[in-house]
Structure 1
Amino acid sequence: MKMTSALKATTAALLVATGGMAYAESHAMTGPNGEALAENQTFTYRVLDEFPSIDPNLIEDVEGSAIARNLFEGLMSEDAQGELVPGVATDFEVSDDGMTYTFNLRDNAMWSNGEPVTASDFVYSWRRAADPATASEYQWYMGLMKIENIEEVIAGEMSPEELGVTAIDDHTLEVRLTEPLPYFAQMVTHATTFPVPQSVIEEHGDAWTQPGNMVGNGAYVLAERVPQEYITLTKNENYWDAENVIIEEVTALIINDENAALTRWEAGEFDQTDVPAGQFPRLAEEYGEEAVSVPNLCTYYYNVNVESGMEAMKDPNVRKALSLAIDRDVIVNNVTASGQVPAFSLTPPYTAGFETPEIDVAGMTQEERNEMAKELMAEAGYGPDGESLTVPIIYNTSDSHRSVAVAIGQMWKQTLGVETTLDNQEWQTYLTTRGEGDYEGVARAGWCADYNEASSFLDIMQSDSGYNDSGWSNSEYDQLMAEAPTANDPNALYQQAEQLIVEEQPILPIYFYATAFMLDDTIKGWPLENPSDTWYAKDLYRVAEE
């Protein structure tokens, strides 16, 4: 345990003065399992970058989604094992043909301003997310949900009012699909599908997400936000289950330097931070169970700009050679060293219902891969006896991302004679650059499942996906993904789709994530068995130090 888990003055000054100290006055001082609770019921954690948005319909990043889960609540939520549990909806029914879902909403769900949450709030939110005028980066996700008329609405051919979602009454929401989706209920745990308050948005416009304006229906409300510094949430007394929410205040500190963040964590300034690349073994030895590493449904990879990048990137042989020359064992054992697993495919092997196909190169030694890489590069006309090649790598500012990029650059130079240039960009700039295909070579990327099913990964490589940042288009792949949701054996189609990615290599899979972080041992309730690392501050609590 660290010398202290209390906030240092430098951090405490950022927090709302009332903090969590009122907890003792309003709650019994015992936790869910009878533990003695601390008087200080705050949770402070570190994030790498500023949040591009905290508007549920506009969020596109993992950390933004975590904030949304605390400020808002969707129809369904997840428990500590990742299983569906009631959110605003207490339950739902599915029609015999699997194409109509009826969600029954609880009658005590309220907005933070005291107004009731109704089915119409979900209708408004879903229409808003699908509306081209909203310009949601996750509009494509609504398309994946196969809601009636969604494609026409997204294309601007139909009004959002024609979307297949209806408020039967205040507490009954009907959703009509164009085809059965066995995993549809999992999809409504995603932030894009959370309700948003129409009257507040219409009153404040884009400023509705500012402190003092924002109204949510989650366990917390927005108290303070200082861009590039921190965001603070405080308990929402109007939340339907507020009496069981123990943590009174949540703060996300924005610290771009991972090593500086670790130093501050070790000094006891806050409760959680990511482990910098390569440091997990040391930290695990020094801090024991406070150093946490668990598998996560995320994949780390490089996009290759096959559409508008440099000419060499359009050659499948070059892309295959670059992929083969990456020694993934060195990356996960010596660079990241936090429990990551080498990846040769997009979908993690522990995804529910998915079985990774046999990938030939995965069974080779690295020496064999290197020899094949040299042959492919020579066939493409590059290398010692051909044209010289320099590949630019862009990544969002992070010591860990830089360490991986440097290592890969060295591997490409040593094996293939390929030079690299490194370009780190601030998070929002990087997202824009990558999303617009405004890069010449490769771009770091990471994808975490929006729901626990293989399509959550493989759908992003479809030709019309909003997150197909390589610009790759393959009609056979698109057809496989179109057929998979209603197939008797979707896994077989998913495996074929993975093989197409391996054959054409529009992305270079590097590793499957492990969530590696430092967590103060007084914080309990973290869902370590949830494969998506979906956490809710309302389920956390701080125990008294022994």
Structure 2
Amino acid sequence: MLHKLTNLRAAVLLGSLLIGSSPALAEAVLHRGNAGEPQTLDQAHTSINIEEFILKDLYEGLTIYDAAGKIVPGVAESWTVSDDGSVYTFKLRADAKWSDGSPVTANDFVFSYQRVEDPATAAGYANILYPIKNAEKVNKGEAKPEELGVKAIDDKTVEITLERPTPFFLELLAHQTALPVSKASVEKNGADFVKPGVMVSNGAFKLVAHVPNDSLTVEKNPSYWDAANVKLDKVIFYPIDDQAASVRRFEAKEMDLVYNFSADQIDRLKQSYGEQVHVSPTLATYYYVFDTRQEPYSDVRVRRALSMAVDRDFLADEIYSGSQIPAYSMVPPGIETYGDPAKADFADLSQLDREDKAIELMKEAGYGEGGKPLNIEIRYNTNPNHERVATAVADMWKNTFGANVSLVNLDVSSHYAYLQEGGKFNVARAGWVADYADAENFLALNVSSNKTFNYGHYENPEFDALMKKSYEERDPAARSKVMHEAETILMRDQPIAPFMAQADLWLVNNRVQGWHDNAANQHLSRFLSIAE
């Protein structure tokens, strides 16, 4: 009898081991390469997509982007808009909860939006919510946070009143700045609310571990309203700004996704991995910005000359292997409500003619050969592609003007923190990816009142007045015309030199299911799964 019982126990144990090792029950883990270490996990202080990719897995706004990059309901299951387009009323999902099991309420959104606009928070992206009534006044200390046009009608109804009708408002609400925070958690934990084991989030995942410069781990949030349809158990983000290392880890099957690999590897990778290599056109501009606060970059002739001397075709074709498009406008092509962007007046000249005119302008300004020495420092964020661009541009400026050019690089978070905090520089690399599909998102970067993203501190009252007029214009065609006039001035003054309209470069392992290339570059992990 004892022998039979022993055999029975052994059989049960063997069966449980076999079940436990079944692929069907294996933990579904997505390994995501991220292009650097996040500077913050506080949505009020986020500014780059390295942080966005993580935050949108942890939190969910009133609206979100689906797998195809389209705006769909998020925490808000539905909404209505007043006849004049100035009042939005959102109905929150009855089963929307925070990761601690408490309900997501309208007051959480009121608190979150007031927190972003409160000048004490010093949110760098507060202007994203400026279309909300009194938002700009609150942010500038001219009104109290409670005067912001966001109200909780009841626990599950949020009413938002705008300064004026804003066609892209639903897209603004899907931005990481508009992600909610738990009022109870922030009030209890203060700045520590972002830490693993403390963070309370309402998205498909919750933060469980963060080892800076090594990995960040999120796990499926069982309290999420749509948890039944979330197929991943865990997502591990790896902050790697070494693109060669990222590719090696992808090839070793250590990472399923790699973002922004070195463009000179496109052909080799396509030969080896075929459709796992994704080159996806996006609404993004690669540009250099001049610090207009100091000479010689305060001189429009110098800025124009430097911009004209850059061979954009070489950058796009040779450095980026044709994956980028030469650009002569700040607004990229592809925005339906805007049409063809307003290009710089030298866009249609040959490169030789541009260089001849550039030399004339530089001499007129008194710099270059025969004039004052031209010493230029180019700053860029660490990345092989950016290094190659900077090296090429340096050679172009040396050959055309006899300039002495040096290069300085920082990691991505430090680079942008330096620019956003007003650090002085000569010339700096920057890129802008659309927060929403509207030309305003690109042009507003250079409004003089934009203290965060107007890196070069450009000031032109005529440009500012046109942008202000565009906000007040309700007719779409007339509004587009005004913004084209503004971009014409921007391209005339060249406080920024657009080089390329960008494409997103991704490596996506075949085992990743649910991936869709999209111009918004939105790839929430909740829409992805793993096929073993």
TM-score bracket relative to the smaller structure: over 0.9
Once the 2 structures are TM-superposed, how far is the Cα of residue 207 of structure 1 from its aligned partner?
1.1
Q: Does 1:96 align with 2:80?
A: no
1:21 to 1:67, Cα distance in 2 relative to 1, 3 A: farther
Q: Does 1:498 align with 2:487?
A: yes
Hey, what does 2:199 align to over in structure 1? Answer: 214
Which residues in structure 2 correspond to 1:151-166 (within 5 Å)? 151-166=136-151
Letter in 2 for 1:343: A
Letter in 2 for 1:349: P
Instruction: Tell me, in whole angstroms, the C-alpha distance in 2 between the residues paired with 1:417 and 1:116.
Output: 64
1:460 to 1:23, Cα distance in 2 relative to 1, 3 A: farther
SS in 2 for 1:111: coil
Aligned partner (choices 293, 315, 321) of residue 299 of structure 2: 315
Which residues in structure 2 correspond to 1:110-149 (within 5 Å)? 110-143=97-130, 146-149=131-134
Instruction: Tell me, in whole angstroms, the C-alpha distance in 2 between the residues paired with 1:342 and 1:492.
Output: 24
Which residues in structure 2 correspond to 1:252-291 (within 5 Å)? 252-273=237-258, 274-291=260-277
Aligned partner (choices 367, 373, 380) of residue 388 of structure 1: 373
1:246 to 1:21, Cα distance in 2 relative to 1, 3 A: farther
Q: Which consecutive unaligned segments of at least 5 residues does structure 1 have?
A: 1-19, 26-38
CA displacement, residues 157-202 of structure 1 (integer Å, 9 cap, x when unaligned): 2221111100000111101112111111111001111110111112
Q: Does 1:525 align with 2:511?
A: no
Letter in 1 for 2:163: T
Q: Does 1:298 align with 2:287?
A: no
Aligned partner (choices 149, 165, 187) of residue 180 of structure 1: 165
Instruction: Tell me, in whole angstroms, the C-alpha distance in 2 between the residues paired with 1:23 and 1:441.
Output: 56
Q: Does 1:541 align with 2:526?
A: no
Aligned partner (choices 307, 322, 336) of residue 320 of structure 2: 336
CA displacement, residues 446-504 of structure 1 (integer Å, 9 cap, x when unaligned): 11111111111111111111211110011111121122233422221121111111110
Q: Which stretch has the larger CA shift, 376-385 or 111-120?
A: 376-385
**Which protein is bigger by CA-based radius of gyration?**
2
1:85 to 1:426, Cα distance in 2 relative to 1, 3 A: same
Once the 2 structures are TM-superposed, how far is the Cα of residue 84 of structure 1 from its aligned partner?
1.6
Q: TM-score, normalised by structure 1?
A: 0.90
Hey, what does 1:353 align to over in structure 2? Answer: 337
Instruction: Tell me, in whole angstroms, the C-alpha distance in 1 between the residues paired with 2:488 and 2:403.
Output: 26
Hey, what does 1:369 align to over in structure 2? Answer: 354
SS in 1 for 2:406: strand
Q: Does 1:86 align with 2:70?
A: no
1:368 to 1:165, Cα distance in 2 relative to 1, 3 A: same
Contact 2:343/2:491 (8 A) holds in 1: no
Letter in 2 for 1:306: T
Contact 2:64/2:72 (8 A) holds in 1: yes
| Aligned positions, number | 507
Once the 2 structures are TM-superposed, how far is the Cα of residue 408 of structure 1 from its aligned partner?
0.5
Instruction: Tell me, in whole angstroms, the C-alpha distance in 2 between the residues paired with 1:344 and 1:272.
Output: 32
Q: Does 1:41 align with 2:41?
A: no
Once the 2 structures are TM-superposed, how far is the Cα of residue 431 of structure 1 from its aligned partner?
2.2
Hey, what does 2:24 align to over in structure 1? Answer: 24
Instruction: Tell me, in whole angstroms, the C-alpha distance in 1 between the residues paired with 2:421 and 2:267.
Output: 38
SS in 2 for 1:168: strand
Once the 2 structures are TM-superposed, how far is the Cα of residue 156 of structure 1 from its aligned partner?
1.4
SS in 2 for 1:133: coil
Aligned partner (choices 214, 218, 222) of residue 233 of structure 1: 218
Once the 2 structures are TM-superposed, how far is the Cα of residue 382 of structure 1 from its aligned partner?
1.4
Instruction: Tell me, in whole angstroms, the C-alpha distance in 2 between the residues paired with 1:22 and 1:484.
Output: 60
Instruction: Tell me, in whole angstroms, the C-alpha distance in 2 between the residues paired with 1:163 and 1:206.
Output: 23
Q: Which consecutive unaligned segments of at least 5 residues does structure 2 have?
A: 1-19
Q: TM-score, normalised by structure 2?
A: 0.92
Instruction: Tell me, in whole angstroms, the C-alpha distance in 2 between the residues paired with 1:22 and 1:123.
Output: 46
CA displacement, residues 88-115 of structure 1 (integer Å, 9 cap, x when unaligned): 1112111111111111111111101111
Q: Which stretch has the larger CA shift, 150-159 or 215-224?
A: 150-159
Contact 1:298/1:446 (8 A) holds in 2: yes
Instruction: Tell me, in whole angstroms, the C-alpha distance in 1 between the residues paired with 2:509 and 2:141.
Output: 49
Contact 1:480/1:497 (8 A) holds in 2: yes
Instruction: Tell me, in whole angstroms, the C-alpha distance in 1 between the residues paired with 2:53 and 2:268.
Output: 28
1:386 to 1:166, Cα distance in 2 relative to 1, 3 A: same
Once the 2 structures are TM-superposed, how far is the Cα of residue 537 of structure 1 from its aligned partner?
0.3
1:442 to 1:352, Cα distance in 2 relative to 1, 3 A: same
Q: Does 1:458 align with 2:447?
A: no
Instruction: Tell me, in whole angstroms, the C-alpha distance in 1 between the residues paired with 2:500 and 2:81.
Output: 37
SS in 1 for 2:45: coil
Instruction: Tell me, in whole angstroms, the C-alpha distance in 1 between the residues paired with 2:345 and 2:458.
Output: 22
Letter in 2 for 1:115: S
Hey, what does 2:454 align to over in structure 1? Answer: 468
Aligned partner (choices 50, 59, 62) of residue 75 of structure 1: 62
SS in 2 for 1:453: coil
Instruction: Tell me, in whole angstroms, the C-alpha distance in 2 between the residues paired with 1:170 and 1:106.
Output: 11
